Amino acid sequence: MQRLYDFLRRHPTWVDGFWAVVLFGISVLGGAATEEARGTDLPVLTVPVMLLLSLVVALRRRMPERMLVLAVVVGAGQLLADVATLPADFALLVIVYTVAAIGARWASRFALTAALCAAPLAQLRWPNTDASAAENIAVMIFQTVPFALAWVLGDSIRTRRAYFAQLEERAARLEKERAAQAKVAVAAERARIARELHDVVAHNVSVMVVQADGAAYVLDAAPDQAKKALETISSTGRQALAEMRRLLGVLRTGEHQEAGEYVPQPDVRQIEDLVEQCRGSGLPVDFKVEGTPRPLPSGVELTAYRIVQEALTNTRKHGGPNAGASVRLVYFDDGLGLLVEDDGKGAPHELYEEGGFDGQGHGLIGMRERVGMVGGTLDAGPRPGGGFRISVLLPLKPAH
């Protein structure tokens, strides 16, 4: 039964053709019975009128505007040729409904006008001579009501379909917007992971390189120092691997990782360990904390740690062999302040003014992005007396 229903929905013209044949048969039988009762034959033009009105029903959904014009022409022909009303005139109701539901707007208005004129014209053409004028007017009004209802029903169907089409369009648009937002979120997450990887790799690898160079230099003269440098390289490498494992785990899909596999994100309390690591690699760092330490939002803590990490990495890269650094961590009532300075030769101008060249300068770009994500401000540039200075203010309230 469902297959038959689906077939009929896919072939509406076949359904309309079936009802057109039924309407033609009823019209022929009804007309023949009427004329037989009168003792006359069917008028010559009656059968063509029946055929054309049945054709209107058959093709109403395929070409509604043309069938409306055909129905009006046939109706006018009936009036002129004095072909009395037939069962086939039911096609006029059908085409009025169809055009109001699926036809063009001009055709819908034209159908309403023709529908309101059909019954009065028919009543004037074939009045009931045995009835009074009031009775003829009542019949005319009674015959006009079905045409008006047919148009109203068709127009309401059009409005309902337009409403559902608008809902479907809106749902499709929202789905596209959700997909776009999901893509943006994925891109932002990948950018965040890229910054994390940059910070982890740049800092830890630079420490390992410095320690490896120092170990090679004192390998023969001071084996104990060389051994200590190798141990630092080993611990730094393990730390880098642990953090990279945590970050890459975010990119994995369809895998269930145990809760203890990834290390937690670094916070402000680990800045002191970071400073000690830098001191162990040969970079003198003066570290001070001002204000009362207290728990901060995780995003602010991670941003503070990564800013200090990147700043010290840049000092090691660009400050020169005898550079020293200082780190100030200040707890305000409504925010966290960071001041990282060094007395080295400073970074090249292109790295902090123009965003870098030949793939360089991503560290400071990443700093600005991190600070902007938590609604903070960053000021980076050379110090008046030489070296480089990075000043950051991170608010405790999220940015809106």
Q: Is the model's pTM score more than 0.85?
A: no
Domain closes at, from 104, 126, 148 = 126
The DSSP 8-state label assigned to residue 265 in this structure reads P
What is residue 42's predicted lDDT score, i.e. its pLDDT? 64
Q: Is residue 91 part of a domain?
A: yes
Query: How many residues are listed for the chain in this entry?
Result: 400
Rounded mean pLDDT of 80-92?
86
Q: Is residue 220 part of a domain?
A: no
**Which pLDDT tens digit goes with each residue over 55-72?**
999 999 999 999 999 999
Q: Is residue 173 part of a domain?
A: no
When pLDDT is cut at 50, 70 and 90, the band that residue 134 belongs to is: confident
Cα 368 from Cα 394, distance rounded (Å): 12
Q: Is residue 355 part of a domain?
A: yes
Residue (of 71, 47, 77) closest to 59 by Cα position:
71
Rounded mean pLDDT of 69-78?
92
Cα 150 from Cα 153, distance rounded (Å): 5
Q: Is residue 337 part of a domain?
A: yes
Q: Which domain holds residue 122?
A: 2-126
Q: Is residue 207 part of a domain?
A: no
Domain closes at, from 98, 126, 154 = 126
In the chain, % helix, strand, coil (3-state, to 5) comes to 70, 10, 25
Out of 48-57, 151-160, 247-256, pick the least confident: 247-256
Helices 2-10 & 12-38 angle (0-180, nearest 10): 80
Domain closes at, from 126, 147, 178 = 126
Q: What's the total number of domains in the chain? A: 2
Q: Is residue 136 part of a domain?
A: no
What is residue 359's predicted lDDT score, i.e. its pLDDT? 38
Asked if 304 contacts 256 with a C-beta cutoff of 8 angstroms, the reply is no
Instruction: Give the three-state DSSP class for 235.
Output: helix
Asked if 366 contacts 195 with a C-beta cutoff of 8 angstroms, the reply is yes
Cα 340 from Cα 336, distance rounded (Å): 13
Q: Is residue 170 part of a domain?
A: no
**234-238: long-range contacts, CB 8 A cutoff, minimum separation 24:** 236/204, 236/207, 236/208, 236/211, 236/277, 237/204, 237/208
